[in-house]
Structure 1
Amino acid sequence: MKTKRLVKIEEYIHTKGSATLDELCDYFGVSKNTIRRDINIILQDGSIEKVYGGVKSVVNYGLTPFEHRNIVHATAKERIAQLAAAQIKPGDFIFIDSGTTTRSIIDYLPNDINITVLTNNLDIMNACALHPNIALLSLGSHYKRETRSFVGLHMEAKLSQYNISKAFMAATAVSIHSGVTNSDLMEHEIKKNLVQIADEIFLLVDDSKFEKATLLTYMPLADVSTVVTNNPIDNTYRDFFEEQQIKLLIAE
């Protein structure tokens, strides 16, 4: 219930632009002490800031609906997903992040492959359910329609029990300076904890994502093991990947 309320409070503030504490208390039917505790949690990720008598949004999340984002660069995303799927071997325990590029990975796996998949994305769960030899584990407790994924707070304890061999991660934007970023507070919580426990991190991004940044950095770009993208990229990034010993896979 608390996680769901935090999501709703965050969405309310970003939709309205700002809100007083009294307004939030009335709208969500909770005490001022409860609102203050909730606000303090959301403040930790920097998406809002305190103002006199309340809080205001410091970013326009601008989340494009999932079905619309899936149309943009669709061919490139399919090729990236196919190349990423080729990196999965029988016996792997993998995490597949929620995203319009990562969602197609399962479609390119052999029907009889024997692996374990951990995910928080509804479409990936449905795809895994069609593979009899895939053991499926899920994350998150609250369904977020905008991203077709399940989210939640305080994931450290739950994730620490898993030995993830490969994590296939999505991102809203990527840059050398800002790292690997996303725009959703609740998904950020899962991403930043997951990449800390995975043996290998595969970053799946089409060429439109480079040299951009959004609000929340969930890992430095140097922490990525392999970048899977679709077009030859700028030499600045090629040099950086070589220097950091990051493998680069190009989906032609």
Structure 2
Amino acid sequence: MKIQRIHEIEEYLKIKETATLDELCQAFNVSKNTIRRDTKYLIDKGILEKVYGGVILKNNSLVSFEHREVTKLNEKTLIAKKSAEFIEPNDYIYIDSGTTTMNILDYIDQTLPLTVITNNLDVINFAVELENVQLITIGNKYKKETRSFLELNNSDILKSLNVNKAFMASTGVSLKSGLTNSDILETRIKKAVSDKAETLFLLADDSKFDHATLSTYADLKEVDHIISGGELPSKYIEYFSQNKINLELVY
């Protein structure tokens, strides 16, 4: 589908920052004429810039973490607060990177005995101040744009950890593509956590639904609880009911 492919090309360039037309043809399995049309659309929108043999991402097209943090702030706060209600004493929880997940610990009992596993810098900074929290960090390469650590220094580290509840964020959520993310290194961690967790929570405001980005880290059917807000498309409400996925809407 043309619109979805154009969106995926945009996400691809947000990671790579530059690409040749031949590279894009191979990545998206389309002709060079198709890629020329798709990239022209993004060039006209001011997202990409044409260079010899390819395109580059314009610096001002990236949305900063700080800007995303204030977008839908009230809804994200309510989602974090509702998520905290599911955390119980002696849980082994994973808290994902993202502006929706970063504030979960603000709303728990600060004396709660807990093991927190995360790659989220803001969660790390908060968790170290909690006396009864055992903190385990994941990733060894810092990404400033998302304030998270990427790359597993030991690919088996998550396989050895017990995660009974994982609170995950997603750049896009769709029936076809599931839970998606635009950074391949982040996707590796998200997938490893999702595969390992006993109970999978998705924290996503309503703007994330019916969108897909570069890579999928979990099928929608794998999710146990979805915490969201606003107005979700009816097809998702029906899908959650059919697949016994608990939906918690906050307002």
CA distance, structure 2, for counterparts of residue 212 and residue 157 of structure 1 = 31
- TM-score w.r.t. the length of structure 2 is 0.78
Whether the aligned pair in 2 keeps the contact of 1:47 and 1:58 (CA below 8 Å) is no
Alignment match, 2:214: 215
Whether the aligned pair in 2 keeps the contact of 1:166 and 1:200 (CA below 8 Å) is yes
Alignment match, 1:17: 19
| 3-state SS, counterpart of residue 17 of structure 1 | strand
Q: Report how far residue 233 of structure 1 moved.
A: 2.0
- Across the two proteins, how many residue pairs are aligned to each other? 216
Alignment match, 2:127: 128
CA distance, structure 2, for counterparts of residue 58 and residue 176 of structure 1 = 31
Deviations 1:189-226 (A, max 9, x none): 10011100000000000011111111111111111010
Equivalent runs, 1:10-159 vs 2, <5 Å: 14-18=16-20, 63-153=62-152, 156-159=155-158
Deviations 1:117-172 (A, max 9, x none): 00001100001112111110000011111111110047541110011000000001
Residue identity in the other structure for 1:112: T
- The answer to whether residue 197 in structure 2 is matched with residue 195 in structure 1 is no
Unpaired runs of 5+ in structure 2?
1-11, 33-52
Q: 1:134 to 1:186 in 2, by over 3 A?
A: same
| 3-state SS, counterpart of residue 122 of structure 2 | helix
- TM-score w.r.t. the length of structure 1 is 0.77
Alignment match, 1:179: 178
Alignment match, 1:4: none
Whether the aligned pair in 2 keeps the contact of 1:48 and 1:56 (CA below 8 Å) is no
Residue identity in the other structure for 1:94: I
State the 4+ residue runs in structure 1 displaced beyond 6 angstroms: 10-13, 55-61
Residue identity in the other structure for 1:151: L
Q: 1:13 to 1:205 in 2, by over 3 A?
A: closer
Alignment match, 1:26: none
CA distance, structure 1, for counterparts of residue 76 and residue 178 of structure 2 = 20
Deviations 1:32-61 (A, max 9, x none): xxxxxxx9xxx9xx6999x9xxx9789999
Unpaired runs of 5+ in structure 1?
1-9, 21-38
Residue identity in the other structure for 2:232: I
| 3-state SS, counterpart of residue 89 of structure 1 | coil
Whether the aligned pair in 1 keeps the contact of 2:101 and 2:169 (CA below 8 Å) is yes
| 3-state SS, counterpart of residue 164 of structure 1 | coil
Whether the aligned pair in 2 keeps the contact of 1:155 and 1:190 (CA below 8 Å) is no
Alignment match, 1:228: 227
CA distance, structure 2, for counterparts of residue 14 and residue 74 of structure 1 = 29
Whether the aligned pair in 2 keeps the contact of 1:173 and 1:214 (CA below 8 Å) is yes
Q: Which of 228-237 and 181-190 deviates more?
A: 228-237
Residue identity in the other structure for 1:14: K
CA distance, structure 2, for counterparts of residue 185 and residue 17 of structure 1 = 16
Q: 1:108 to 1:13 in 2, by over 3 A?
A: closer
Residue identity in the other structure for 1:247: N
CA distance, structure 1, for counterparts of residue 207 and residue 84 of structure 2 = 21
Whether the aligned pair in 2 keeps the contact of 1:122 and 1:149 (CA below 8 Å) is yes
- Percent of residue pairs identical: 39
Cα RMSD after superposing both structures = 3.1
| 3-state SS, counterpart of residue 102 of structure 2 | helix
